[in-house]
Amino acid sequence: MAFRDSDGRITIDEIAADKDIKQLTLSKESMEVALKELNEIVAQSEEFSGNSAMRIREASLVMIRDIQKSIEQTDYAISNIQLAVKKYQQIDQDVKGLVNTNGK
């Protein structure tokens, strides 16, 4: 997502950032589908008794918690990428303004 300019500073590649966000969004959508299916498994397992049903429920609940955490982390990553892009866009705009002001 980032590359270095001629002065060695890291800059943001907006196109790469957009691709990263799209890929993260697709991953999040897949996780949400899995989360929905696991919730259905938990609901169905409550209709049964015995050790197998209990273990299915327990394993499903652990996976639900892990997927929810992954979704939160994905949202956090998307937000941070968007903030970085906005920050660099603002820096670019500020630099252009200074160049235009000093060039006149």
Tell me if residue 9 falls in helix, strand or coil.
Answer: coil
Q: pLDDT band for 1, please (50, 70, 90 cuts).
A: very low
Rounded to two decimals, the pTM is 0.79
Total residues belonging to the chain: 104
Supply the pLDDT for residue 103. 63
Quick one: average pLDDT of 70-79? 98
Q: From 27, 31, 28, 24, select the one nearest 80 (Cα to Cα).
A: 24
Burial (CB count within 10 angstroms: exposed 0-12, middle 13-18, buried 19+), residue 62: exposed
Percent of the chain with pLDDT over 90: 60
60 and 41 Cβ atoms separated by less than 8 Å: yes
> Residues 34-60: pLDDT tens digits?
999 999 999 999 898 899 999 999 999
CA dist., res. 2 & res. 66, Å (int)? 29
**Looking at residue 54, what is its pLDDT?**
93
Residue 2 has pLDDT above 60, yes or no: no
- pLDDT at 67 (0 to 100): 98
